[in-house]
Amino acid sequence: MPTERFLRLPGDKQDKILDAAEKEFCAYPMEDISINRIIKDAGISRGSFYTYFNDKQDVLDYLVRRFREREYDQAREYLLEHDFDVDALMLKSIDHCVEVFRHFGICDLGHDTAIKRGLVQFNGGRPEEDELAMEFCQWIWDRIDRDRYRVRDMDIFRDVFLHLMMLIFMTAARLLIFGDDRERTMKRYEEMLDIMKKGLIRR
């Protein structure tokens, strides 16, 4: 995480440094990241950089966290404006995911960049260790009308919600990586969502 000194910088200067870092992380794998290119692009000295961040991993972690915080903030705003309609949020999120994947090159299988690794690394751990996802799920849980939902336990709600997020990622990847027909892909999404809601076996 950045130092207090960085956080006290004017917003435009913070943005300039982070924009330079994002450009670097989107272009190279972690082992090829150059602090020199970042500071040159940001117009700061090497000494200044190390008063703001410990190292390049520190910058990447902050970039990823800041991005994810903004994503969750936008999702909160949407839910507040749409009566906590989680299904509508999911549907809206598919196209948003496509744009995010495209912007960061996440679905470019031949290009292994630092930002790609950083953005997907949180999926490798236990869900309850993902602090931001936990906070978001708790935020929803504290505000929803639980009579509208079949889930009665916060831990189950969180796990279901994270599985729904994975369905969004899979659908976005089908549209972007494989260029699947949109109508067929969205029909597949609706069918998978229905199975997740009702179960695999007809009753």
DSSP state letters, 98-163:
HHHHHHHTTT-TT---HHHHHHHGGGGS-GGG-HHHHHHHHHHHTTS-GGG-S---HHHHHHHHHH
Q: What is the CATH number of the domain that holds 121?
A: 1.10.357.10
Quote the domain boundaries for residue 116.
Answer: 4-198
Question: Domain total for the chain?
Answer: 1
Is 133 within the bounds of a domain?
Answer: yes
CA 50 to CA 48: how far, in whole Å?
5
Q: Is residue 145 part of a domain?
A: yes
In a domain, 53, yes or no: yes
Quick one: pLDDT at residue 192?
A: 92
47-89: per-residue pLDDT in tens? 999 999 999 999 999 998 998 899 999 999 999 999 999 889 9
Mean pLDDT by 10 residues, the chain (203 residues): 93 95 91 95 96 94 91 95 91 90 72 77 58 91 86 87 89 84 92 86 76
Q: At what angle do helices 11-27 and 56-81 cross, to 10 degrees?
A: 110
Is 38 part of any domain?
yes
Which has the closest alpha carbon to 127: 101, 89, 164? 164
**Helices and strands in the chain: count of H runs, count of E runs:** 10, 0
Predicted structure pTM score: 0.81
pLDDT at 120: 65
Predicted confidence at residue 126, as pLDDT, reads: 56
- Look at residue 151 and tell me if it is in a domain: yes
Residue 36 forms part of a structural domain: yes
**Pairwise CA distance, residues 3 & 49, whole Å:** 10
- Cα distance between residue 15 and residue 171, in whole Å: 32
Q: What is the token pair recorded at 26?
A: 């989107």
Q: Is residue 203 part of a domain?
A: no
Whether 82 maps to a domain, the answer reads yes
